Amino acid sequence: QLRAWGVDPDTELVVYGPSPALAARAWWTLRWAGLDNVRVLDGGLKAWVLHGGPVAQGDFVPRARTSSERLGLSGGHMPDISVDEVNTLGGEVLLIDARDEASFLAASIPRAVNLAASELWTPSSTLRTTGEIRELYQTVGALNAPTVVVYCGGGVLSALSVLTLSALGVTPRLFVGSWSEWNKSPARMARSASERFLT
């Protein structure tokens, strides 16, 4: 599909969606596949319209572009982590759960701290200021931890954590499978029940 749009390695891609987290997941996926020039439209379509941006309406008519043969994608260009690696994380790793507090309190991966991704954006769906985001991450020790791993329910909310931490100079690893993969194992769930909130 990207080739059909005429995307090549030098194309600037701007993504947006119904929430900052969904846009961030698109950003992460494109970066993971090897595209470097990817940005998120802060505030999405609503902010675009409020700032006077034009809006297309009616049937989509693609611009005439030449299919790019230069675009070669491969996975693994963003740091991630497998469920087996998460299961054996040492105490020096900061594990951030980006789900809402209620989900975190119901059950979580052992030793995780909670910083809901929804705290990173305002009611108008724009990202909070860099200073505000920095303060949020400072409260959980993310800016000084030697290794940071982030997860959520299914790898969407935590993609926003990756985006915002990256903007602060931290390179976290994303547990793509997140809680939906962790909770498939009775043994892992037993750990979650017996090792809650260990630090």
pLDDT at 105: 96
Q: Can you give the length of the chain in residues?
A: 199
Q: What pTM was estimated for this model as a whole? A: 0.92
Question: Tokens standing for 183?
Answer: 């909770």
d(CA 7, CA 113): 39
What confidence tier does 152 reach under pLDDT thresholds 50, 70, 90?
very high
pLDDT at 140: 98
Whether 3 has a pLDDT exceeding 90, the answer reads no
Amino acid at 34: G
d(CA 98, CA 178): 10
Give the dihedral sign, CA 21/193/91/136.
positive
d(CA 198, CA 147): 17
Whether 124 has a pLDDT exceeding 70, the answer reads yes
Torsion of CA 22, 115, 124, 51, to 10 degrees: -70
Mean pLDDT, range 94-113, rounded to an integer: 97
d(CA 97, CA 89): 14
Reported as a single tens digit per residue, the pLDDT across 14-34 is 999 999 999 999 999 999 999
